[in-house]
Structure 1
Amino acid sequence: MKKVLFASTALIATAGVAAADSGINLSGYGRFGIGYFEDRAGAVTNVNTNVTTTSIVGGAIVQTTGQTTTGTAVVDTDDAILVSRFRLNIDGFTETDGGVRFEARVRLQADENSANGEANNAQLNGARFSVIYGGLRVDAGNVAGSFDNLANYYGNEVGLELFAGQYSGVDYSFLSYVSGSNPGSNAVFFQYAVGDFAFGASYDQVTGALNGSEVDLDRWDVSATYTFNNITAAIAYGQTDLGDIGLDDESLTVLTLGGEWGDFNGTLFVADDDVNNAADEGTAWGLSAAYNLGAATTLLFTYGDGNGDADTQEVAIGAIYDLGGGASLRGGIGTNDCDVCDSRVQADFGAQFNF
């Protein structure tokens, strides 16, 4: 990925001390194409209706027609819409003479409204701050936790929009990096890598409601990763403490395996999902694979499921054709289903270019 570097030496010359290495990196990607989702429907909030009001002004009866908010409605939209994303990562960094690197990132992102196919404005998310030294990394702010950083958690996702993945049967809400206008959790993530081992942990507080008041609830997770030859094994455990609002604690345990063999790579995924909704909890499992056919073409497959009645089963195949220069054509087709919902087909196709 190409990066644009703006040297900051001139900007800090008047400070008297220049860092050994500092600047700003810009990177990201754009994508656009056609997305299809069978029986697509979305919730539209702030539904406005014309309302006529009557008042007396200066002895005369005056009628005024205006708009008022009446609530939320679910509306049907076209199954096939134009899908798009513009993502720009803005990374500021500096490195001390002693080799300690400081970083900060915000992300500017614009996506289509998947409910109605209309365009959305580009928006900034919350900032992430990092300190890196050797194999140690500490993130603060809008961070990704142990699951979001776990090797092979996402596997080989399918589609221009990455609409299908092996993790589809997981319902636990873990700490993740958030894009768009959402500032994300104000949390801390720690990772230390030494040789073939890596260890991670994160902590944040989520807000719950108790008797009409907000309560801060602890959420934490830990992970370990080991790479041997061409195989990577990873395990993570996380928990949200919900006792203060009268619910059982929720937790998630995930084990992943991933490997590469020439033009083929694959992943396996198993999880234990312990949440308060009985229709969602239970065991989740999945797998994914990618095969390089040569001639710049890669085939993808993913499957995810769970034994909960409301767990989503996703099965999809896709392909990527490399155009060179960071550009590619990509797309996929698949289905998603569950024991208590109807099966629906999803597909997309379009172009992506990195910068």
Structure 2
Amino acid sequence: MKKVLFATTALVMTAGVAAAEVAITGEGRIGLRYESDTGYYNDYNEDGVNDADSSWNVVNRVRVKFNMTGESDAGITFGAKVRADQAARANRGDNSSSTVGEVFVSGAYGKLTAGDIDGALEQAVGDLPEVGLSGLDFWNEFAYATSEEVSYVIIDADGIERAVGADASLLYEYSFGNANLYASFSDGYYGNTDVKRDDNVWALGVGYDLGDYTFGIGYENADYTINPFLVEDNDVVTAAFGPIGFDTPSETWGISGGTSWNGITFKAAYLKTSSDEDLLDYAQYGLGMGYEMSNGVGLTAFYRKNDFKNVEVDGRAFGLGASYDLGGGATIKGGIVDSKINFGDEDISNTLADFGLEFRF
């Protein structure tokens, strides 16, 4: 059976496309996840009292990844990336843009990617190191208006919920010397129609590598404002700010810097968002660290802070993670994240932890 499968795969990969290549990889994980307060998201009773408890949950996931590349006779490189779980959600058989996966073309004048991508600001500034087996709600990631795999729900002026950031975006990249230039754009229409979502986003960014030092700076302009806490369906936060995003135009500046020394990496980043609604002005900033030892042990840590400028809302999160490389694509991973949002007189706290095995094929 294996021989038949391998032979069939080889024929599919090579028939009629001598210059093309299809690489199949995969990843999986198995473990346990702990949460100290499941009501952190949405378990407040009618009196506003959180009556939820802690929980233990099984962590498991498997993904198959397809990476396709080719090269034209003129030397233009092209390709596409998609995961098996993305393929199930993509638009199939119609003429609309797919909302998942990536398709790219590159040459002497740079690389152009369409699909489920990070915007130019995130490409240049980036995020803090991830901790844990499952990401632990990804408190290490800053809030960007254009972000890979993220579609935001916002409340418009008529009080109607609608999704934004869910259509395909364009990213242009160009490198010269130690500098990397980025430009991105996400259109404001549903599919290929003329029905506007009013959520255009465009961004510019520059990254620079200088030996053991890296720097990034960028700008993002959006027709909506992202909630930096990214906490869905939280009754306390939603009561004042609505869900993940707000139907108010905004612009964001960001800068980051990092260095590496003897296997230790450090990174700092700062982002400032100005909204047309003054109450939604805020800043995001944080520090991250990673350490890869020669014996296969790895350590990661981050501290992130969100501060609203004109209202009494702020929050912070810090995380610690550890891993051990077992070889052959298997790694033991675990982490802990503690987060808190101060909302006037209300404090919303949560502790997350996980532990298990990660596999890469």
User: How far apart in 2 are the matches of 1:188 and 1:307?
Assistant: 30
> With structure 1 as the length reference, what TM-score do the two structures score?
0.73
Mapped contact 1:154–1:165 kept (Cα < 8 A) = no
Match of 2:206 in 1: 224
Cα offset, 1:345, TM superposition:
0.9
- Supply the distance in 2 between the matched residues of 1:192 and 1:81 (Cα, whole angstroms): 43
Q: Name the counterpart of 1:281.
A: 281
Task: Report the Cα offset of residue 22 of structure 1.
Answer: 0.4
Relative distance call for 1:161 and 1:75 in structure 2 (3 A) is farther
Q: Tell me if structure 2 keeps the 8 A contact 1:86–1:109.
A: no
Residue in structure 2 matching 1:79, options 44, 55, 71: 55
Cα deviation, 1:155-178, whole Å, max 9, x if unaligned, reads 31111112266755x445324245
Residue 253 of structure 1 aligns with which residue?
A: 253
Q: Among residues 174, 178, 182, which one is paired with 2:146 in the alignment?
A: 174
The SS at the match of 1:150 is helix
Asked if the contact 2:297/2:322 (under 8 Å) is kept, the reply is yes
Summarize the alignment of residues 185-196 of structure 1 with structure 2, pairs less than 5 Å apart.
185-196=167-178
AA aligned opposite 2:253: T
Aligned length: 296
Q: Is the 8 A contact 1:128 1:142 kept in 2?
A: yes
Decide which structure has greater strand share: 1
Residue identity matched to 1:40: T
Q: Which runs of 5+ in 1 are unaligned?
A: 13-17, 45-73, 111-121
TM-score normalised per structure 2: 0.72
8 Å CA contact 2:131, 2:319 repeated in 1: yes
Instruction: Give 1:162's match in structure 2, choosing from 117, 135, 139.
Output: 135
Give the distance between the partners of 1:278 and 1:36, measured in 2 at CA. 37
| CA–CA distance in structure 2, aligned partners of residues 350 and 268 of structure 1 | 29
The answer on 1:328 being equivalent to 2:337 is no
Secondary structure, counterpart of 2:272 in structure 1? strand
**Paired-residue identity, %:** 23
Gaps of 5+ in 2: 1-5, 44-49, 91-99, 152-163, 226-245
Q: Is the 8 A contact 1:240 1:251 kept in 2?
A: yes
AA matched with 1:156? P
What does the per-residue CA deviation read over 1:103-149, in whole Å, with 9 as the maximum and x for residues that have no partner? 12221239xxxxxxxxxxx9445232100124611011333321343
8 Å contact 2:119–2:146 — kept in the other structure? Answer: yes
CA RMSD of aligned residues (A): 3.3
Structure 1 Cα separation of the partners of residues 88 and 81 of structure 2: 14
The structure with the greater share of residues assigned to helix is: 2
Which structure's CA Rg is the greater one? 1
* Rounded Cα–Cα distance in structure 2 between residues aligned with 1:10 and 1:28: 21
Contact 2:165–2:186 at 8 Å: present in 1 too?
no
Corresponding residue for residue 228 of structure 2:
none
Please name the residue that 1:129 is paired with: 103
Distance 1:247 1:216, change over 3 A: closer
2:183 corresponding residue in structure 1:
201
1:39-93, Cα deviation, whole Å (9 max, x unpaired): 214669xxxxxxxxxxxxxxxxxxxxxxxxxxxxx99586110112222221222
In structure 2, relative to structure 1, the CA distance for the partners of 1:178 and 1:284 (3 Å cut) is: closer
Amino acid at match of 1:268: A
CA distance in 2, matches of 1:241, 1:35: 36
State the distance in 1 between where 2:88 and 2:315 align. Answer: 30
Q: 1:325 to 1:275 in 2, by over 3 A?
A: farther
Match of 2:321 among 304, 318, 321: 318
Q: CA deviation at 1:35?
A: 0.7
| Residue in 2 that maps onto 1:26 | 24
